Amino acid sequence: MFGFINIFKQKGMTSHDVVSRLRKITGIKRIGHAGTLDPMAEGVLPVAIGNASRLIEYLTDEKAYIADLKFGIESDTCDIEGKITTKNEREVESGELLEVLEHFRGEITQIPPAHSAVHYNGKRLYELARQGIIPEDIPARTVYINKIELLEFNGHSAKIEISCSKGTYIRSIVRDIGNVLETGAVMTGLLRTQSGRFTLDTAVLLDSLHTKYDVEKNFTDSFSVLPYPVFSLKESDFKTFMNGVAINNVSEYIEGETVLVKYKDKLAGVTTKMGNKLCAEKVFPLEE
């Protein structure tokens, strides 16, 4: 089996739970996912089956979410499932929230939550947090927020839509919004609506998949989710390309550009344009 499937991860499951279920259904061990979702989050989770897991690094990074947040509360996990650490009764006004959101557009710096999978001195932050250790020098990271819009608001809670770069922690954004407002805020729900070219409207429920055939018939076309130009391989060049030999006399494409190679409507490999050649980076057997 070879392909991507767009899973709708439901609340309560980890991303690893999804992979484990798919391994049992398909009998395939080599399965990976793109972009971890916390157990309380739901939505789009791209999963690569078989050798398609070698293509995860080529997927685009943009993510989009709809987040629910509650004002007047802070927790150790930055969400409603954590231990409440402070409370504040002040009601937020819509005008001040809209003004604060303006500061979260474009390039921003954020500190990941203490309960997160970020590595710190060889350990995951959540492993340290479970031991009661919260480092005071968690490294900040720079992320990019393409869009942040207010969808709903009632003074005590809100719903916001966010489009952002890879590695953005929505819980951190919610926490930081609460800090700027001086009321505190926690995330109460999170829906991922997009991950690269995978979108909510094509996501399938894990519970609807029972056999390898169910999984395979829901595969997403690899060429549609990999944002690169496609070169059609001639039959005469197929065997040599499968052995890692470069494709010669190619005048199209930009120097250094990633180019997908197609043979008989299947993905045969990933190449890089170097001079007048397409040099093989990864090849995939035709039987896949």
219: nearest Cα among 47, 56, 75: 47
Q: Do domains 63-192 and 228-283 have the same CATH topology?
A: no
C-alpha 26/C-alpha 217 separation (Å) is 12
Number of neighbours of residue 78 by Cβ within 10 angstroms: 26
The DSSP 8-state label assigned to residue 122 in this structure reads: T
- Span 26-38, pLDDT tens digits: 999 999 999 889 8
* Residue of 38, 68, 79, 176 marked catalytic: 38
- Span 137-155, pLDDT tens digits: 667 889 999 999 999 999 8
**Residue type for position 177:** I
pLDDT score for 36: 87
* Domain edges within the chain: 2-60+197-224, 63-192, 228-283
Mean pLDDT, all residues of the chain: 92
- Span 78-133, pLDDT tens digits: 999 999 999 998 889 999 999 999 999 999 999 877 666 666 566 666 665 565 65
Q: What is the mean pLDDT of residues 204-218?
A: 97
Which CATH number describes the domain made up of 2-60+197-224? Answer: 3.30.2350.10
Which CATH number describes the domain made up of 63-192? Answer: 3.30.2350.10
pLDDT score for 213: 96
Run of H or E including 94: helix 94-102
CB 55 within 8 Å of CB 226: yes
Q: What is the mean pLDDT of residues 270-280?
A: 97
Number of neighbours of residue 214 by Cβ within 10 angstroms: 14
| Catalytic residue list contains 265 | no
pLDDT score for 141: 85
The pTM of the full predicted model, rounded to 2 decimals, is 0.90
* Domain 228-283 homologous superfamily, CATH: PUA domain (2.30.130.10)
User: Where are any strands of DSSP class E within 223-276?
Assistant: 230-232, 258-263, 266-274
Q: What is the mean pLDDT of residues 174-185?
A: 96
In degrees and rounded to multiples of 5, residue 16 shows phi and psi of -65, -35
pLDDT score for 285: 86
Is the pLDDT at 62 greater than 70? The verdict is yes
